Amino acid sequence: MSDVTRNVALVAGGAGFIGSHLCRALLERGHEVICLDNLQTARPSNLRGLEQLPGFHFVEADVVNPLPAGVTARAARISRVYNLACAASPPHYQADPEHTMLTNVIGTHHLLRLAEQTGARFLLTSTSEVYGDPEMHPQQEEYRGSVNCTGPRACYDEGKRAAEALTFDYARLGRAEVRVARIFNTYGPNMDPEDGRVVSNLICQALAGGDITIHGDGTQTRSFCYVSDMVDGLIRLMESDIDGLEPVNLGNPIELTVNELLERIRSIVATHGHVVHLPLPQDDPRRRRPDISRAAAMLGWAPTVQVDFGLARTAEWFAGEIGVDSPLRLSEAAE
């Protein structure tokens, strides 16, 4: 790729779970990729495999600080800015809530300024957390949400809502062309086994063969989107010709209770562990399911990966990652 081609995608948070898959997909589509990450919650192993690929540049920096030379020196060739930078699991984002808020607000501010200066298109990965513990079900983009702005999840939820507000103001003022995705629960390889998400928790506990913990009675629901579907949705949204003044839900509308999820995992990973119930965390949403009719209409997008296939691929990856032998049922289910 010649130096005059303006085909560089900046992926802030590119060493994270979704970010690392996005970097790879963008490289496959012919982009040069700058992966900007502070490695706060990203797993350095996510960069393995990427760093060997032509056109991939890793820059270690925190988006709360002014953008480093590794970005600004290439600014004239940046045509796409994806902002995925933020710790995304509650234990991680609550460890330093002030940094979580600043990452969302100041990070987005820095990246929007870059988009304005370069003319690059900007995509914010917002979150289903902007709906809080929703009273509307499934959640449409018009729903204003039920977020407790004084609680321990607010640093993330309100940080993302503030980042959306900033982003749409840039669009309204003609300062940047923007896209906003509201990402629902996503799973797959490259997740952090330690980050406290329900899919990784249950799979890793099943693989380890010990007790399995469920918060609450397990009747709360989630919708789980496999990461390749999510990355496809993000790129479609970025490349679409929509006017960008509305957020777009991306997620899998198939709703499972946590108990049902565990049954699916048990059909893949042989395990005899007992289920132990723990209290629900404060402000934990009871139900969460995206209405994706906007994404379907605007982007022609819908998830295609079946949950049993996705869980099997994820369990297989976790088995390798945490160094347990593939459990009995794994190979049958994954094929």
Among 3, 4, 54, 150, binds a copy of itself (CB under 8 A): 150
Residue 2 interacts with a copy of itself (CB under 8 A): yes or no: no
Count of residues near a copy of itself by CB under 8 A: 37
Query: Which residue among the candidates 156, 170, 187, 226 is catalytic per the annotation?
Result: 156
Closer residue to a copy of itself, CB minimum distance, 106 or 214: 106
Contacts with a copy of itself in 273-312 (CB under 8 A)? Answer: none
- Kindly tell me which of 180 and 256 has the beta carbon lying closer to a copy of itself: 180
**CA-based nearest residue to 230, from 124, 301, 131:** 301
Smallest separation (angstroms) from a copy of itself to the CB of 301: 20
What is the dihedral sign for C-alpha 187, 190, 196, 200? positive
- Residue 179 Cα distances to 89, 164, 228, angstroms: 23, 10, 19
Measured from the CB of residue 226, what is the shortest distance to a copy of itself in angstroms?
27
User: Which of these segments, 1-9, 44-52, 145-153, 226-234, binds a copy of itself (CB under 8 A)?
Assistant: 145-153
In the range 153-182, which residues lie near a copy of itself by CB under 8 A? 154-155, 157-159, 161-162, 164-166, 168-170, 172-173, 180
- State in angstroms the smallest separation of the CB of 108 from a copy of itself: 9
Q: What's the closest the beta carbon of residue 186 comes to a copy of itself, in angstroms?
A: 21
Contact 152, 282 (CB under 8 A): yes
Tokens for 260? 């049902």
Place of tokens 């902002």: 83
91 binds a copy of itself (CB under 8 A): no
Q: Which of residues 198-237 bind a copy of itself (CB under 8 A)?
A: none
Toward a copy of itself, which CB reaches closer, 6 or 144? 144
How far apart CA 92 and CA 195 sit, in angstroms, is: 7
Active site residue 156: yes
Rule CB under 8 A: is residue 136 a binding residue for a copy of itself?
Answer: no
List binders of a copy of itself among 235-254 (CB under 8 A). Answer: 245-247
Q: Does 146 bind a copy of itself (CB under 8 A)?
A: yes
Residue 130 binds to a copy of itself (criterion: CB under 8 A): yes
Contacting positions for a copy of itself (CB under 8 A)? 97-98, 101-102, 105-106, 109, 130, 132, 144-152, 154-155, 157-159, 161-162, 164-166, 168-170, 172-173, 180, 245-247
Enumerate the active-site residues: 156
